[in-house]
Each structure stands twice: as C-alpha cells, then as structure tokens.
Chain A
C-alpha cells in the first residue's frame, strides 16, 4: 500500500476539500466577522464590535422569533415522537405473536408506506398545499367542510394565536411517518424473546410499551429528539411560504431564519443578519449539547 500513497491521497482529497472550504467553512468563518460590522453592502464594512448583538437584545422581532423556537422546540418533538411511538408500537408489536415472531397489526405495511409519504415531498410544496387546505373560505379543505355544516370558518393562518399551531400541525403531519419508520427500525432490533418472557409474566401491551419497548429504544429516541430539535430551529421554508406575509400575521409565526433572510436580502442589513445567524448557531449548539447531556443514561444491553 506504500507506493504512491501521498499523491493519491492528495489527489482524492483536493477537490472535495477545496469545494467544502470555499462554500461552507469560509462563509461560516466570515459570518462571525461580518456580525461585528455595520455592513450594508454598498460601502466598506466598518467594525462596530458587539453593537449588533446589543441591538438584538432590544429587537422585538428577534425575541418573538426566539420565543417561537421555544414553542416549536417543545411542541414539535413531543407531539411528533408521541404519535410516532404509538404508531410504531402498533405496527411492530401491536398484533398477535406467532411462533416467537412479533407482528404488527393488520395492514401494518400499508400504513408504514402511506405515513412516510409526506417525507418525500419538499417542505415548500407542502406549505403551498396547506395554504389551500387552510384557506379561510369555502374553497379551503377544512373550512369547506365546516361551512357545509353551517359552522364558522376557522382562520387558521390569520388568527395570531392560532397561526403558529397551524404551522406546527403541518410540520407534525410531515414528520410523523419518518419517525414511525425510524422507531420501527429500532424496535425490530429488540429480540422477540424479551417480549415473550414479559408476556408470560402477564405483562399487558401497555406494560410492554412502557417497561420494555421504551427503555430499549432510548438511543433512537435521543436521535429523534435531536433531529426534531434541529428542525425546530430551521422551519424557514414552511414559515416563508405558508404564513401570512412571511412570519405574520404581525410576526406571530416568525422564526430566526425568516428574520435573517428578511434583514439580509430585503433590508440589506448584512451585519445585523449575521449577528442573528451567530445567535441561531449558539442556540442550536446549546440545544444539541443540552439534549445529549440530559438524556444521557446507561444504554440497556441486550
């Protein structure tokens, strides 16, 4: 393996590293620097130190966005994981057991295919789809039904206290299928004998779920929580397309990504937008570190 190793290694690494450093590492490094300037694109950037960050502290839109990330961070993983866990359990161990083989309920295969389906659609497309579903008059899918029954239409995206939840519902709608499959893969690796033994001891389905499946699935749950948490920090496409005028009404659904986009590419406040980017970076990092720390526990050997 010695002969010509270095030329080969360098030859193979050069293009990927060059591309990666140019478009990923270099911009990230610059972002921190730009966040310390008052750059607006036309004149040369001037160093302003932590001014942008100080202004962030007084920025109502910024705090609103942070607050929405807090709501998303709690609601999105909790709801998605709860639904997905329940379905995955039904689809994998909810049915009869025959000859030591755990089986899912009838139609498990069909459900797994259908539930996963929204995952392959682009979020921006789903957002347009749900614009139609949520439309406030009789042309909307939901309000069309409600009004047929003589009910008042629900203003899903227009009512400030409802808009964010309407968006969370769409995110859950999209995500559940992926986590059903993810948890299914985790459950498939739990040996059937464990269930067998527990059932012989008289454990019910509910007991099986909480005392066997859940503890043995802990690692997968942790992964799911981190994924969903990171998704909760992004949520740009859905807010940009689905919400009323990008984060509205009146900032009721705005997220940091939306504010960064608006400040940078609408108002040309590049320095300020970069400061928000840095804030987002540290929030994401803190979240990931906290999650991994808080959910750390002995993984069960089996």
Chain B
C-alpha cells in the first residue's frame, strides 16, 4: 500500500518522460520550418561582474532581434534563451545543464567570467554543443577543446603586442610591477612565458596587492635598478591608476606600459595628468572614430557602436563587443552549415576564416580556437587625457 503510493508519482514521471522523449524523437527529426533555432546564453548581467555581463546581455538580445527582423536563420526564427548567473559559477553550471537538457539549444554564446566558463565547459563538451565563451582566460582554449571557442583576446596576446612595441623601440631591459589579483598574476605569467621571443629581459619584478594605496616603495626599487629602459604593469582596477600616479611622482621618466585591463576612460580619470604618455594595447572599439578609413574593422566597429548606443542609450564597451562577435560567429556558422545540427555548426565554426569582428579578425583552426593575432590589438598612447592611435610598429 505504502510502496505503491510512493511509486505512483515516480511511474507518472517516468511515463511523462517517456512520452516527452517519444515526442521529441518524432518531432525532432522532422522539425517544422517554423520551429525556432535556439541559441543559449548564460552571462553575469547582475552581481560584481555586471559591468562586463550587462552590455553582453544587451548586445545578444539586440542582435537576435535584428536577425529575426531580417527573417531569422535558414528560414526559421532564432530564439535566445538567456540566463543570468549573477557572477556565480555554480549557478552558471546549473543553467548550462538546463540549456542542454530542457531548452535543447543548438549553440551557446556566453560565460562572462573565466570561472563561469570553466564551470560550464564540461556540460557542453559532453553534450557536443558548440560553446563560444566571452571570457578572457587563456585556459579556456589552451588546451584546445573540440566544442569550445572564445572571442576576447587573451593576456598572452596583450603581452606579445606590448613586447612587439618595445622591441621596435629598441628596449631590451624592463621592470615589471604586477598586481597580485587573478588578472595581474595570470598576465605576469603569460608575459614571462613569451618574453624571451623578443630578446627582452625582466631585471626587476615587483608586485602589489589589489587594494594597496601606495606603490612608491616598489617603483623606487625599480627606479634604482640599473639599466631599466621601460616599465610594464599588468593589472586591473585601481592599482594601475595608483602605479601611474606614483610613477609620475617619482619622476622615473621611462616609458610606462599598461595592460588592456585599463583600456577605459575611467582609468584616465583616476590617473589624472600622470596618465600622459602611458602606452597600452587596446581593442579597436576604443578608438573607433580614430581608425584609418582603410581599416577593415572600421565599418564593423562603427555599425556596432551606432546600433548599440541607439538601442540602449549607453556608451559602447569592449565587453559588449565580445558578445557581438560571439553571436555573429555562431549565426554565420549556422548559415554556413545550412543546418541547426550542433556538430555541423561546430565544424562550420572551426572553419571560420577572416571574419572581421569588433574585437579583431578571427580565423579559427583545429589547433586555434581563439583565432586572434596581435593585430587585434592597437597600440595606444594617452596624451592630454585622450587616446592617440599609434602607427603600427611593423
């Protein structure tokens, strides 16, 4: 009596699952033309990473709407299934499972932070669904995973861009002062890995805490190290602004290189006049209106900036650009594959060649799922409170 009472709901659930499965099997193979193509997304639209995830979410919604106005893909409408993980990697993973099992998405664009992306990767890898991440960490695409791609450049690319510039200026000995937060640590390691390719050596290697308010002791040490020709500061947040101020205070007088972590107007505001002369790699979107007319990215960046700002009333950001490139790469792959089959979309994605995006020009290969070279970065110099685009150094 008691067991059957307990069994009944289970049986009911099993029956329901079976019929659902059967329905999916019959309808799934003979998808009607009007069935939407479902693209999944999990971003951190709220929480501590909201300044990254919010523009991503807005961009994804905007472009899926535009796509549907133009008639969708393969004659079918596109449906964006968007979840907000609030900056929590555990939630991201739960949503990823839901996207795969309940929503039956055919591709995925999202993952605001490296942590959330790493938490979701196993779900999509196992389900065999292509996943284009919007997070920066190099571990997402190294080692290469069959179904995982990403759009933002990595800190390794930034290091290479900086060292190219240093090499062109005849700099061989540098001092480094890095933040001890995740971003600073990771970029420091990547820089040290590639630095020998450029015949540059680090003769002073200092660090600072992410919340430190004074970096003069470290910079003083660097200043008093013989033979230093330039200083590089991998960092994010307020640290680099204080480093820049202290650098000016000590009158070090060498070129100061910052990372793409400070590629925003707020850095110039925080660092004040001390920012004058700081050099940094940054994506094209930051200097969209200053790009040469012949620049391949100019029209793409201008179009994205105009439509984003019109639709949201907010200034465009690098992070929304990652979302733009992600959704474009996926939709173009679906068009190219002429199918909404995840495996075929993946193959088409991997065959992406010379796609001109907001962030850079992508060419994926079976061994490179980032597909961006150092030319995806522009070398900028800050002069009188504004970015100045430097001529290519090569």
Are these two chains actual partners, yes or no? no
Enumerate chain A interface residues (CB-CB to B < 8 A): none
